[in-house]
Amino acid sequence: MSEPRENPKRNRKGRTKRSKGRQNWDDFVDEHGDFEDIIQPRKGRKSRRNNNSTDLEDAGGMDGKTWEELALSEKELERLERQQFDSMEKASGKWAWMKEKRYKSMFEEIEHGLQGVLGTGSYDWVDRRVFDQVFDRLTLMSIYKLMKSGAIDTVEWPIARGKEAHVFRGEGESGAIAVKIFHTGNAVFKNLLKYIEGDPRFSGLKRKHRDLVTIWVRKEHRNMLRMRRVGLAVPEPFGVLNNVLVMEYLGNETGPSPRLRDVKIEDKQVVFDQLVYFLAGCWQNAGLVHGDFSPYNILWHDGIPLVIDVGQAVALAHPHSQEFLVRDIERLVTWAKSNGIETSVADILYDVLNTPPEELLPADVLEKIHNFTRYNEEE
């Protein structure tokens, strides 16, 4: 988890922070992809080479070899030069598309909403490597369309980061939002095929990486809608496009709500009952199994455990749904016993399969959950 920084005056390397003036796309492209800046040495930098070539020889650091013997062959020099040229071409071309007329005009319309991730807004958190990793062309085009549709006003600072996605706090039409951006440049989703194959909702699966990402994002969006409709405590989804998912933000101005594993719970039995209620509601009412149920994927928000990361949830018709359900229950048993609650897989499994979910909670706790998750049919 990451929290916004309070306008630091200097960055990690001790350099003075850039002024808060808005940074436009031309400046950003120049900073990241200017071919001339890559091949030109910085002004005033002194050469590290010692002009007195005999010093190294006198120190015995050349193992008795002459400079001619240590020099690279012409073939090796050509190979290194080719590698360097390819690297520079890649760096100079990565962001060049932003200067194309059709893209430049698009981003001039929305760049004010990206000042947070460009590092010139109120939160100067930016790690350029993170920006390069997350905000590729597909992502920026998706954000552009979501901004034009009104789902996103601004994208500000990161609140969570993982192998599959980065999550940013932002602003939308109704206030604070979470913008979950799934990575498109790695192969991590190939390890998640078991949660997609066999799910009748996503037949005709293509195995290309980008298709997997799109399917996974749609799957998480659909699972959240399905869970919210039956009164389960998950974030409310607001929009989805390609690899970008916009949802309800759970937290305050200083940071997101903590994970269940990171907080001290007073009435642990009530929390345990709510978690059993969630599993039972998923199975009996939503027709789903979470598939990765653990304290890492549960936030503690306003006295309610809220389940996140539901992309891996599968329909009951999935060939491994029962296996995933037992695994979820085993993890819940582990959490319960670590908090002094005596239970068993058999006891929880019986309730999940047979006890009506509303009978698992006191009326006041059930009302609190329903007040939070009441689905707005107009959305």
pLDDT at 324: 95
Q: How far is CA 266 from the centre of its chain?
A: 31
pLDDT digits (tens, 9 = 90+) for 239-292: 999 999 999 999 988 889 999 999 998 899 999 999 999 999 999 999 999 999
pLDDT at 183: 84
pTM comes to 0.68
The Cβ of residue 351 has, within 10 Å, a number of other Cβ atoms equal to 19
Asked if 292 is an active-site residue, the reply is yes
pLDDT at 209: 58
Choice among 26, 34, 262, 309 that is catalytic? 309
pLDDT at 188: 59
pLDDT digits (tens, 9 = 90+) for 217-242: 999 999 999 999 999 999 999 999 99
pLDDT at 283: 97
Contact of 341 with 268, CB cutoff 8 Å: yes
Asked if 132 is an active-site residue, the reply is no
pLDDT at 2: 45
The phi and psi torsions of 250 (rounded to 5 degrees) equal -110, 100
Domains and CATH numbers, the chain: 98-252 (3.30.200.20), 258-373 (1.10.510.10)
pLDDT at 184: 76
Q: Residue 284 gets which letter from DSSP?
A: I
Instruction: List, run by run, the mean pLDDT of 10-residue segments along the chain (379 residues).
Output: 44 43 53 43 43 47 55 67 55 53 64 64 49 77 89 88 87 91 69 68 60 85 93 93 94 90 92 97 96 93 93 91 96 95 96 96 92 59
Choice among 292, 302, 347, 351 that is catalytic? 292
Contacts 24+ apart (CB under 8 A), 113-117: 113/147, 113/152, 113/153, 113/154, 113/155, 114/143, 114/154, 114/155, 115/22, 115/23, 115/154, 116/154, 116/155, 116/156, 116/157, 116/168, 116/170, 117/155, 117/156, 117/157, 117/168
Q: Residue 241 gets which letter from DSSP?
A: E
Helix/strand/coil for 327? helix
Q: Which two tokens stand for residue 43?
A: 């002004």
pLDDT at 53: 46
